[in-house]
Amino acid sequence: METLSVRDRGQDLLPLFPEHSSVTPDGELVIGGVGVAGLAERFGTPAYIVDEAGLRNQARRLRDGLAARHPDSDVVWASKSFPCLAVYQLMKAQGLAIDVAGAGELVMALAAGVPPERLYLHGNAKTTAELTMALEAGVGTVVVDNFDDIDRLEHLATRPQRVLIRIIPGISPETHESQSTGGDDSKFGLPVDQAREAIARIRSSDWLQLDGLHLHIGSQILATEPFAQAVEAIAVLGTFDVYDVGGGLGVRYTLQDEAPTVEQYLDTITAAAAAYLPAGARLVIEPGRSMVARSCVTLYRVTTVKHTGRTFVAVDGGMADNLDAALTGQPFEAAIATRMADAPDEVVDLVGRQCESGDRLVAGLPVPAPVVGDLVVMPVTGAYTYTLANNYNGALRPPIVFCRDGQARLVAERETHEHVLALHRPARQDPIGE
């Protein structure tokens, strides 16, 4: 199949698409060497389509870029961003450690073959059952969020357990309120005065080994300065072997967005570490969104086109497979996937099929005149779409397809009605009567 590279085509939206994207001369989008029309025919819609090689490359950029700037370092992938077994396997293969926030993510990581010593357990409300599971599995590091964590760990541990203490650095970056986690009123972590008490307590513990400090100021942060400010803020707590400065680097979702590059982010983090942290300390980062977002697109099919007060183009997915658009108001872009070269001649609202007026995927979208049956593709959907997928109106979670070198591979099946009904087996076996 003859294709032209993204740069040669010069289409406005293409810089948002996965790294290994191209467009055929007749305007069909190709991901990882596979045309979207064939993907829709084979796997159906909606579907999450992942550029596997691009995802691997991003993992290497972060891993190698940090190591070049700060040799004693580690990259921990924040798996809540895309909890797919194949992604866990890919990150393990790239030598990354894994951040899990609860039993479900822990189970996925272990099933993917991630060595337990390469796992970091997070969470502000860890249960006794989750901590027991983590300790029995041999999780390498537990990030202590509160004094109840300390109580439970000291009661449950049967051998020394490495821990970090999560600190509230008092930094509130510009992002959506729900994605800001470093301010003084955050539900995560301990303020500096309480952190000092936790440090003293853990250092006197027979079972807990304090490696260092952890912080995380939020997600989808489009400036680098707050990351440096957070590093400076925790330096007052003293000298430790490990400083985990979290993640939060934002990505470019729309043409209007300006996001820092990986290189700019790493330059800022490592310069702050050199300025404020002790020489020789291990530096850890936890990228999530910036690791996976660009690697994936969501493929839909147009079901209706309606000209009323506005032109509404409805697709066979929506807030059930991309809750972020409704939940946080995150803007996205989209395109007609088989007419990428056509000039727009209509402005539409791209909407989903869930019964909410807020189920609007993209407002004011310029496209070539859409018709029922068109394929629509939305870029930058690798982060938190699968995570937040739900069954609103009986929707079924879409499949995940990896594309690489012209080959497409199903890595997560589409949910079925049988999967959903299986959860209701008790009522099916013993129906509720009058």
Q: List strand residue ranges (DSSP E) for 160-251, in order.
A: 161-166, 208-214, 242-244
d(CA 35, CA 65): 32
Kindly name the residue from 84, 296, 355, 403 that is annotated as catalytic. 355
d(CA 293, CA 381): 6
Q: How far is CA 423 from CA 108, 399, 420, 429, in A?
A: 20, 19, 6, 12
d(CA 269, CA 136): 34
Contacts for 62 with CB less than 8 Å, ≥ 6 apart = 75, 262, 266, 285, 287, 290, 291
d(CA 351, CA 363): 8
d(CA 260, CA 317): 31
d(CA 54, CA 127): 36
Q: How far is CA 21 from CA 36, 85, 100, 389, in A?
A: 11, 24, 30, 25
**What per-residue string of b and e applies to 130-159 under the rule 16 or more CB within 10 Å gives b?**
bbebbbebebbbbbbbbeebbebbeeebee
Residue 230, token pair as written in the block: 């957070």
Contact 228, 260 (CB under 8 A): no
Alpha helices in 235-358 (DSSP H): 262-276, 289-292, 324-327
Q: What's CA 395's distance to the chain center, in Å?
A: 21
d(CA 409, CA 421): 27
Q: What's CA 51's distance to the chain center, in Å?
A: 15
- Nearest 5°: CA angle at 161, between 156 and 162? 145
- Nearest 5°: CA angle at 339, between 411 and 22? 55
Identify any residues that bridge with 402 across adjacent strands, giving them in sequence order. Answer: 50, 409
Task: Based on the residue annotation, tell me whether 403 is a catalytic residue of this protein.
Answer: no
Residue with tokens 């055929």: 24
d(CA 376, CA 315): 8
Positions marked active-site: 355
